[in-house]
Structure 1
Amino acid sequence: MNSGVLDAPVPDETLIARAVGGDRHAFGELVERHYNFIFRTACKWCGKVSDAEDVAQDVCIKLASILNSFDGRSAFTSWLYRVTLNAVRDMQRARSRRGRNADRYAEVAPDEYLPEQEDAATSKELWTAVRKLPEQQRDAVLLIYAEGMSHAEAGVIMGCKEATVSWHIHEAKKTLRGLL
């Protein structure tokens, strides 16, 4: 007899355990559940939708071989955030090595990925400048202002203390004043 109550979604931890054990369906469900999160994260860091799509695809492929390294000490999304950021950095380093450092900051992600309170032209200029910041400053700014995280949450993602995140934000503001 059907009670009329919908089945609760399977928790990530259960899907992870099943996927690590070889359950392809569980892995597929995990990727499907988190694909938009991966893509949005990559889009904010890359600035180009096409690059974000490449990074998201790479992360999903890589997950198959690294999922067993998730130890559960942090939230799965925090771990996935770091995996995605590392994939973005890998892509950027590879471009740099190949000398194809063509204007990868020119195309800003669609407005839905930018803070809505900003005027579009100012927003494009600002986020273009943010993407030119040193890595730690850029990450701190994007996590705090684009993702709306607290300094403590950003510290978990960045693997540093809350005070260090605050320092990176302070330094980024000084740098941005010079760039803008």
Structure 2
Amino acid sequence: MFDPGSDPDADLLSAAVAGDRDAFAALLRRHYDRIHGLAWQLTGSRADADDVAQDVCCALVEKIAGFRREAKFSTWLCGIVYNACRDLHRRKRSFGGFTARLAVLAGLARAPDGRDLYDAIWLKSAIMRLKPAYRDTAILVVGQQLTHGEAAGILGVAEATISWRMHEVRRLIAEDRTPTA
């Protein structure tokens, strides 16, 4: 059972929920790198991570009042970022994704810069072959250093499922590194 008093953000969070703008700003400063980093890990693009981070920060203004203190603030925040990235993926698969690509081709928008391409290749080389469930689990447990229970809460599965998925991730990566004759 989670003890809300053990959350390192408890004091700032109480003040922010009560409407203290300075406390809210301090929470955002404290957690922005985590928001952006997780978004980057999940999207593979700096530009998409920037968009997700901005959306999450704006949404927190309204969502923070609904925080029920059933988990650490940072864990709850990872859930919001995860859902925002999932929503972005859905939107990109829609017609809007097509029009965005068309805008780049027509010269109406900038294409991703070389750093995005390099970073995306590096990130994809490590996790591309994993099924989405394994990839998301690994990003939350290893990339965000969440406990198996915290990741289970975000992904809506049992904690044992997270443990099994992490075992499978280690096995699959080990198999991938094994040289073939």
TM-score (norm 1): 0.70
Name the counterpart of 1:14.
11
Pair 1:167–1:99, CA change in 2 (3 A)? farther
The RMSD of aligned alpha carbons is 3.0
Note if 1:87 corresponds to 2:84.
yes
Note if 1:67 corresponds to 2:77.
no
Q: State the secondary structure of the residue aligned to 1:141.
A: helix
Cα drift, residue 27 of structure 1: 1.1
Name the counterpart of 1:8.
none
Instruction: List alignment gaps of at least 5 residues for structure 2.
Output: 1-7, 102-111, 177-181
Pair 1:145–1:20, CA change in 2 (3 A)? closer
Note if 1:125 corresponds to 2:132.
no
Pair 1:18–1:43, CA change in 2 (3 A)? same
Conservation of the 8 A alpha-carbon contact between 1:15 and 1:30? yes
Conservation of the 8 A alpha-carbon contact between 2:15 and 2:23? yes
Name the counterpart of 1:107.
117
What is the number of equivalent residue pairs in this alignment? 153
Instruction: List alignment gaps of at least 5 residues for structure 1.
Output: 1-10, 111-120
Q: Share of identical aligned residues, percent?
A: 35
Quote the Cα distance in structure 1 between the aligned partners of 2:118 and 2:71: 31
The structure whose residues are more often helix, as a share, is 2
- Deviations 1:139-166 (Å, cap 9, x if unpaired)? 1122234344443343233232221113
